[in-house]
Structure 1
Amino acid sequence: MKAIYNVKALCLVVALGAAASVHAQEDKSKEKELNREMTLEREYDPSVQDASKVNTLPKIKEPVVKKMPIDYSTFAVPTDPQQELSLLGSGSVMTEIPYSKKRGYLNLGAGNYMNINGDLGYHILNTEKDKLNVFLSHRSTNGNIGYLQMDDKQKAKLNNNLGGINFSHEYEKLALKLGFGIDHSTFNYYGFVADLRLVDLDVMPLFDYDTNQANTKIGGMIGFESKGHGPFEYALDLDFKRFTNKYGMTRGLGGIAENTFGASFDLNSEFNGGMTIGLEGEIEYFNYGETEPETTVPFERNNHLESTLSPYLKMNGERWNLRLGANAMIITGEEKKVFLSPNINFDVELAPKTVFYATATGKVSANSAWEISSVNRYINPDLILEASRTWLDGIAGIKSGAGPGFWFDVFGGYKITDNEHFFLPQVSMRTKFGNVSNVTYYNAKKFFGGASLKYSYQQLFNISLKGVYNSWSVSEVEREEPAGETTITDIKAFGKPKAELFGEISVVPMDNITLSMDYYLGTGRYTHANGSNIKMDNINELNMKGTYQLNETFGAYIKFNNLLFRKYELLYGYPQQGFNAMVGINLNF
């Protein structure tokens, strides 16, 4: 239900998860074990796991002290993997379910609402020097869902197919990585028409609920990284991404085409007995066009460049790590901006397996069509969003694994973003797609605080609980002329949950059986329609899953979603499925 993937790295593959590699230094082993246990659990994101979910909510804030190295997986995935376009390399998967070391995997699942999941992957090469992986994934649904606003149903259709290949080779002095992937998704705009005046005039049948929009993502990358044989260390990644949608605001009008050329680098050198000085950078150039010549794009944004340069100094003590740096960010084009932010990370071991950490950073969020389509596929298909500028994103907390099998993380933070975007329903007679999402821009400040608790007993019982409270303050963006957003007097952080709670329990009653249950609660969300603010129903969902692993080759599972039979929307007018179930099999070969 949660999680937006707001990743900006530079290779295009399917993420199988991520885990920290074990450091050789004996005096750091406990700290690295704690970091892994506390920060690298698999993200809760059923929208990419199950066809039953057709959109996502903002993710719960997951504090991360620092980046961890990525390792290629040496095993196949026996249970349903995440299905998404990720920009991280194929990594080791952390899960309580044992993994086969065979080269291939196949996952097939089906359920009511015509929900279908499928995943196929194979490690063609898997040696110390060479990795070559191919993968295919499918998610689809085609069932009637009832509106919350009236006693009527509409068919919600989704057919998402993802495929790709990635390769890496270890030379003596450098590592090479290559990736290519395609993500093609078709869906209909099934949302309830938010303008009640149009409903009263009986014009709802005029809207097009049958035509499938088609979003296509194509991307590739090449990267190089040194292996520690010289006075300087370096990493360089180059990538290309292309996003297109088939239709504009109605069938017959072409959509937009977005081409992104990106590069990132890191150049650093050690000195003075372990200190490191370096320079990181990221550059993205966005080029926009149209898929059909007759298309008009009412919110067109000119081609532009976004860049970030980050000089830094790293120092490591016996029990502490410090990175001092700054971000200098530039946006060209009509939105021309230059601004600075800190880039500071600090953590210190207060006691065995107890760490205090603090981070203060900032960034440019491109809000590209590529990124936004993963967050909200029902956005106005003609709309090109403006970039958001985060001046400060700070967090501090204490995490500890001092008790046997018990870990906790308590954290709080503050974030300041100019030109933050919020989704609102939009209906106009010039579109036949009915309910599409418009965007309004606000300057936003957010205080957040929360805690995460986990307990594990001998790999037989695991329980985790995470809660976050968000306090938003939003204000209008000063503009010389209107930018197309809705004028609202009572401004709120539309669509953003005020409080989120996630719990998960897994039990292994027998060697080959795993039972799990997860619960998500999202409260305090608002939208704006028909000239007034509307409080949206809380998201209150309970899911269960049982997995049976017969042997190293064959496994099966059954899932039950929305066991509380609750009705809710992730976007206003777009209800989610009621109770649904799925059965499936996993094969390793």
Structure 2
Amino acid sequence: MNMRKIQYILSGITLITLPLGVHAQQQAKDSTVNRTVVVEQEYTPDIPDASKINVLPQVEAPTANKKAVEYDVTLVPANTIPTTVMQAYTGKETQAKTHPGYIRLGYGNYGNLDTRAGYLFTLSDRDRLNLNFRMNGMDGKLDLPDNDGKWNSYYYRTHANMDYVHRFRKADLNVAGNFGLSNFNFLPDAAVRKQKFISGDIHFGVKSTDTELPLRFSAETNLMLYERQYDSGFLNSREYIVRTKALVTGGISDEQTVGIGFAMDNVLYKNNHFENYTSLGLNPHYRLENDDWKIRIGALVDMGFGFGKKFRAAPDVAVEYNFSDSYILYAQAKGGRLQNDFRRLEAFCPYGQVSSQPDATYEQINAAIGFKASPAIGLWLNLYGGYQNLKDDLFFQPADFESTANEYSPMLSIGQWNTSNIYAGAEIRYGYKNIFSFSATGVYRNWDAKDDSQSNAGAYALVYKPAFEADLHIDVHPVSALLLNLGYRHISREKVEGNKVDAVNNLYAGGSYEFFKGISVYARIDNLLNQDYQYYWGYPTEGINFTGGVSFKF
């Protein structure tokens, strides 16, 4: 009976342990696998016929059968992973700071002087002060036209500038000042031997910077002085201008704005016979801008008081249609007043004498139609053509001026005439990263100046007008420290009565190399073809000339 109970107990234990498997569980930070194996033991003794002899039966040695080991492949619950994962470290991106200071010093074979200096003071987050100075010029002997000997020519220009900006929360205040000096001489047989121009101005301006304002504005006042010291017939001829400009615009929808511009010049003269005058200009306009269209419709209305034309008007219209991301059709009709003050006369022809007070040149219309495209990355094209009409356009011509009581000497005189031209042009630009860039432009013009007078002034007005202008420029950056450039400038003149002035042909090359951080050397060579040409009637230019020097950034 006892033996039978033992058999029942062993059988129960065996049945309980049969379904148990072997499990392995991965634990954190443990490179070993712990296994728990439960081995089923089979105990099947062979009991022969029972004997009444009270002895234990023979028991066979137990054997263990091999079982497949099963692992726990249950996914680890998500709540066992930390809720925050450490992010990868990335440094804070900052834009490389530009050097606030710059100095350049250069010299050349014709006494060419090239000096520049500037420094930007960051006074605070809202205040900037920029100081600039430059002086350039030449002093050398030039070959006069028609083998007429040598001319010891000199021409120096000096300019200094101060520009201060304070940023308010919704507007910028700008205060600036400029000083200019031009010092040069005339041809050997001129009535006046030398000339000096002195200019200065003070600028006060304010403009809104908050785009959320219902009305955006800008306004400025400029107090300007200019003196021509040695004009023929006048000494220390002075011009004072109070130039005021303002612009107010307001949005009438997300895509539409209206505005009006205002410009007024109050001009006073001293030490000459010129009349004082006031000019007033108004520019009402409407603008529409969206993804496909940019339209501006306006007018320029100019009025004069005291001297000059009393009333003139010109269109101010521009339309652009973007029919693809990189293809634009455009048209324009522009115009307006070009004030012939002393500053513009110097830029037009510094050697010219003003014997009578010039009226403002008025661009009656400049109408054009064109097409812009970017068919490939880095490539831009611009094709255009149009018509321009200028009233009282400036020109210069040889004239005799009195040098003594009984002698007259040739000089250049500045005059005015009505001109017009039909033009067509093209521009192409290509850039590849910061390694290579290329640009080329060309403009052809067909000029006309109707002249029924006996003075033949209309013909003189066209002699130095450009019939074809072309510019080619290439920049190459083979390495970051080295910059090489090559260019060509061509200007052919209008043919007048079967004759043409020699064309400008300037082939130039240059380069710069930064051999230390912030320190570079540079050089430029002009007129590599050693051509004879003139920018002003009778005044020669330099032959092959070079300028080289060193620049510092700090």
Q: How does 1:105-116 map to 2 (within 5 A)?
A: 105-116=102-113
Q: Secondary structure, in 3 states, of the residue corresponding to 1:114?
A: coil
Q: Secondary structure, in 3 states, of the residue corresponding to 1:577?
A: coil
2:250 counterpart of 1:269: yes
Correspondence for 1:454: 429
2:399 counterpart of 1:416: no
1:245 and 1:518 mapped to 2: Cα distance? 35
2:498 and 2:354 mapped to 1: Cα distance? 24
Query: Contact 1:100–1:552 at 8 Å: present in 2 too?
Result: no
Question: 1:486: how far off?
Answer: 5.0
1:107-131, CA deviations, whole angstroms, 9 ceiling, x for partnerless residues? 0000111111100111122654221
What code does the residue aligned with 1:134 have? L
Please tell me whether Structure 1 or Structure 2 has the larger radius of gyration of its CA atoms: 2
Question: 1:465: how far off?
Answer: 1.0
Question: 1:491: how far off?
Answer: 5.8
2:355 and 2:122 mapped to 1: Cα distance? 42
The total of aligned residue pairs comes to: 457
Which residue of 334, 340, 356 corresponds with 2:313? 340
1:237 and 1:263 mapped to 2: Cα distance? 6
Change (3 A) 1:99 1:142: farther
Change (3 A) 1:113 1:476: same
1:433 and 1:216 mapped to 2: Cα distance? 27
Question: 1:587: how far off?
Answer: 0.1
What code does the residue aligned with 1:273 have? D
Question: 1:99: how far off?
Answer: 9.7
Question: 1:474: how far off?
Answer: 1.0
Query: Contact 2:226–2:239 at 8 Å: present in 1 too?
Result: yes
Correspondence for 1:509: 478
Change (3 A) 1:433 1:575: farther
Q: Secondary structure, in 3 states, of the residue corresponding to 1:370?
A: helix
1:208 and 1:548 mapped to 2: Cα distance? 46
Query: Contact 2:449–2:458 at 8 Å: present in 1 too?
Result: no
1:436 and 1:309 mapped to 2: Cα distance? 38
Correspondence for 1:547: 512
Q: How does 1:457-496 map to 2 (within 5 A)?
A: 457-476=432-451, 487-488=456-457, 490=459, 493-496=462-465
1:130-159, CA deviations, whole angstroms, 9 ceiling, x for partnerless residues? 210111111121100001223311011112
2:540 counterpart of 1:575: yes
Change (3 A) 1:352 1:439: same
Q: How does 1:208-227 map to 2 (within 5 A)?
A: 211-227=193-209
Correspondence for 1:308: 281
Question: 1:227: how far off?
Answer: 2.5
2:250 and 2:441 mapped to 1: Cα distance? 39
1:265-313, CA deviations, whole angstroms, 9 ceiling, x for partnerless residues? 11111113331111111111111111xxxxxx4xx43111122101111
Q: Secondary structure, in 3 states, of the residue corresponding to 1:515?
A: strand
What code does the residue aligned with 2:134 have? S
Question: 1:492: how far off?
Answer: 5.2
What code does the residue aligned with 1:144 have? K
- TM-score, with normalisation over the residues of structure 2? 0.78
- TM-score, with normalisation over the residues of structure 1? 0.73
Cα root mean square deviation, aligned? 2.4
- What is the identity percentage for the equivalent residue pairs of Structure 1 and Structure 2? 21
1:533 and 1:217 mapped to 2: Cα distance? 41
2:146 counterpart of 1:164: no
2:331 counterpart of 1:354: no
Which residue of 198, 203, 215 corresponds with 1:232? 215
2:104 and 2:98 mapped to 1: Cα distance? 16
Question: 1:208: how far off?
Answer: 6.2
Instruction: Give the structure with the larger strand fraction.
Output: 2
Query: Contact 2:423–2:444 at 8 Å: present in 1 too?
Result: yes
2:492 and 2:312 mapped to 1: Cα distance? 34
1:433 and 1:321 mapped to 2: Cα distance? 57
Query: Contact 2:393–2:416 at 8 Å: present in 1 too?
Result: yes
1:159 and 1:545 mapped to 2: Cα distance? 22
What code does the residue aligned with 1:352 have? D
What code does the residue aligned with 2:541 have? Q
Correspondence for 1:200: none
1:212 and 1:340 mapped to 2: Cα distance? 40
Which residue of 263, 267, 272 corresponds with 1:286? 267
1:344-365, CA deviations, whole angstroms, 9 ceiling, x for partnerless residues? 1211212121212222111111
1:502 and 1:388 mapped to 2: Cα distance? 27
Query: Contact 1:368–1:384 at 8 Å: present in 2 too?
Result: no
> Which of 122-131 and 269-278 deviates more?
122-131
Correspondence for 2:529: 564
> Which of 155-164 and 332-341 deviates more?
332-341
2:475 counterpart of 1:500: no
Q: Secondary structure, in 3 states, of the residue corresponding to 1:113?
A: coil
Query: Contact 2:297–2:316 at 8 Å: present in 1 too?
Result: yes
1:73-95, CA deviations, whole angstroms, 9 ceiling, x for partnerless residues? xxxxxxxxxxxxxxxxxxxxxxx
Correspondence for 2:492: 523
Change (3 A) 1:345 1:486: same
Query: Contact 1:554–1:585 at 8 Å: present in 2 too?
Result: yes
Correspondence for 2:412: 437
Question: 1:466: how far off?
Answer: 0.6
Correspondence for 2:398: 425
Q: How does 1:34-73 map to 2 (within 5 A)?
A: none
1:444 and 1:189 mapped to 2: Cα distance? 29
Q: How does 1:179-218 map to 2 (within 5 A)?
A: 179-190=176-187, 204=189, 207=190, 211-218=193-200
Which residue of 118, 140, 145 corresponds with 1:143? 140
1:352-399, CA deviations, whole angstroms, 9 ceiling, x for partnerless residues? 212122221111111111111122111115553221122111222111
Query: Contact 2:402–2:408 at 8 Å: present in 1 too?
Result: no
2:450 and 2:183 mapped to 1: Cα distance? 36
2:382 and 2:419 mapped to 1: Cα distance? 26
What code does the residue aligned with 1:139 have? N
Correspondence for 2:85: none
Correspondence for 2:33: none
Q: Secondary structure, in 3 states, of the residue corresponding to 2:396?
A: strand
The answer for unaligned runs of 5 or more in structure 2 is 1-94
1:380 and 1:187 mapped to 2: Cα distance? 14
The answer for unaligned runs of 5 or more in structure 1 is 1-97, 192-203, 291-296, 479-484
What code does the residue aligned with 2:295 have? L
Question: 1:226: how far off?
Answer: 1.6
1:99 and 1:142 mapped to 2: Cα distance? 41
1:305-327, CA deviations, whole angstroms, 9 ceiling, x for partnerless residues? 12210111111122211111111
2:342 counterpart of 1:369: yes
Query: Contact 1:247–1:381 at 8 Å: present in 2 too?
Result: no
1:345 and 1:401 mapped to 2: Cα distance? 21
2:294 and 2:153 mapped to 1: Cα distance? 50
1:400 and 1:276 mapped to 2: Cα distance? 27
